Each structure stands twice: as structure tokens, then as C-alpha cells.
Amino acid sequence: MHLRLISWFFIILNFMEYIGSQNASRGRRQRRMHPNVSQGCQGGCATCSDYNGCLSCKPRLFFVLERIGMKQIGVCLSSCPSGYYGTRYPDINKCTKCKADCDTCFNKNFCTKCKSGFYLHLGKCLDNCPEGLEANNHTMECVSIVHCEASEWSPWSPCMKKGKTCGFKRGTETRVREITQHPSAKGNLCPLTSETRKCTVQRKKCQKGERGKKGRERKRKKLNKEESKDAIPDNKGLEPSRETPEQRENKQQQKKRKVQDKQKSTSLGTEVTLSEGLTSVSQKVQPA
């Protein structure tokens, strides 16, 4: 009886030791593969492994797989990197790679920026833009074609010839307009911004100040002629010298004196003639 009890005791003891060893090995394996944050996970990882990095992330962080050589390692980020879009699920927030031709995207079917060589149109990346659109190489997008636009014509200018509006019969007149919208690469070219046509006016003489070059030349010759008259010739054949204001005033005073002397002599002669006439008349009147 005692032997049976002892054998059962050893059997139960061995069984308990076996169960304990199994639990210990499972705990070591779980700690090695899925350690808790407090046991060494870095960054935003909630659970991690030495080989695969993060296995799950803290709340509101995105889980994304990064390739290093032949191995992929999980990381936790506050936002998805370029080329990925984020999706939130109840158990995990995950970053998913965009399409091959997308540089950045909003979701799987909507690109926001295309890679080099592609043009963005309505969320898709295209090799060539659809009909009616053109490629903008600066923004790498398909945009509408812009045609040139111009303002209305201005009124015709006065009829002119060589910068004058008088002294001729036939001339030209001009009108202009401005470009209000420049065209895009495939847009219609801009029209002419100025027009000139021949015109005819009733011939009229230019008023003073409008005679142009010929009038100025005549005026200059007239002034030179007047200046040459005022010049005083030199007896020795030297060049004539211009009168000074004092000389001109003395000359005028001399002319006045000559006029006054001439008037005096004329009045004296008249008085003598009158006196002689009266004497002869008185002699004839006296009785014999």
C-alpha cells in the first residue's frame, strides 16, 4: 500500500515538473518574439520582435513595412511616408503603397502627384493628356488650352506726315490695342496690336510754331540778317563789331539833335520870309 502511494506521488511530481517546464519554455519564447513595450520596444511600437521589428503600434500611429535588403521590418509612424496612403482600422492603422506611377496619393485610386514622365488628370497619372487639354511641364498636370485675347481697337489717330498734322495732303493714321490674355503652348497666337492706313486731309498752311525744320531755318536766317545790319563796320577792314547799348543810345540822341536843329532852321527861315513879305507890302501901301 505504501509502495503504491509512493509511486503515485512520484508520478504526480514528475507530471507537475513537466508542465512547469513547458510553461517556462513557452514564456521564454513569447518574451523573445513579442516582448511588451516596457521590456525594450522602441519608438511607437506596442509589440515587437528582434527579427521583424514592430508587430503592432501605439494608438493613432500608422504601421508600415520598410524593406532593408531582403528583409522587411515593421515601423510605427505618425504619418505615412511619400508614396503611401494611410487607412485606419479598428485594430490597426496601416500605410499602403500607392500605384507605381503615383508619387503621392490620397487612396488606392486617387493620385495627388505623379512620378516623372506622367501628367496628373482627375486623380490619374497619364502618359498623354486627353483631347482639348495640354500638358503643363511645370506642374506636371493636364490643363485647359488658353487662347490669346486682345482689347478693342482704339480710335484712329490724327492724320500725320513726318510728325506734323499740317502742310501736306496725304499722310497716315494709326490705331492700337492691348493683349489682355497671353496664350498657352497650344493656344491661338496673338493678333497684331497696331494698324496703319493712308489718309487724306484738306491741305492747309502750318500756323506759327508748326512749320517744322524749314520754318526754323527761315527764322534763323532772318535773325542773322538783322544782326548784320546792327553791326558797325571797322575802317581798317576788321570784322564788324556789335553796338553796345550805350553806343546805340548815343546814336539815337544824335539823330534827335539833328532833327531838332533842322526844325529850328526851318522855322527861322519861315520867319525871315514872312517879315520880308510884310515889309514889301507896307511899302506898296504907303502914298506916293
C-alpha–C-alpha distance, residues 280 and 164, integer Å: 79
Four-way CATH pick for 41-97: 3.40.50.2300, 2.30.40.10, 3.20.20.140, 2.10.220.10: 2.10.220.10
Residue for grid cell 506611377:
101
User: In angstroms, how far is CA 95 from the centroid of its own chain?
Assistant: 43
CA distance 56 to 39: 15
pLDDT value, residue 52: 85
What does DSSP assign to residue 152?
P
pLDDT in tens, 48-103: 888 888 888 888 899 998 888 888 888 999 999 888 999 888 888 999 989 999 99
The predicted structure's pLDDT at residue 40: 61
Q: What are phi and psi of 20, to 5 degrees?
A: -65, -40
By the 8 A CB rule, do 103 and 113 touch?
A: yes
Q: Can you give the pLDDT at residue 177?
A: 96
The structural domains of the chain, with segments of one domain joined by +, span 41-97, 149-181+189-200
Classify 264 as helix, strand or coil: helix
Mean pLDDT by runs of 10 across the 288 residues of the chain is 54 60 48 45 83 87 86 89 88 89 91 93 92 90 93 93 83 94 91 93 66 61 65 48 70 78 63 48 45
Please compute, for residue 242, the number of CA atoms within 13 A of its CA located in the half-sphere on the CB side: 5
Q: What does pTM read for this prediction? A: 0.43
What is the sign of the dihedral through the CA atoms of 101, 104, 107 and 112? negative
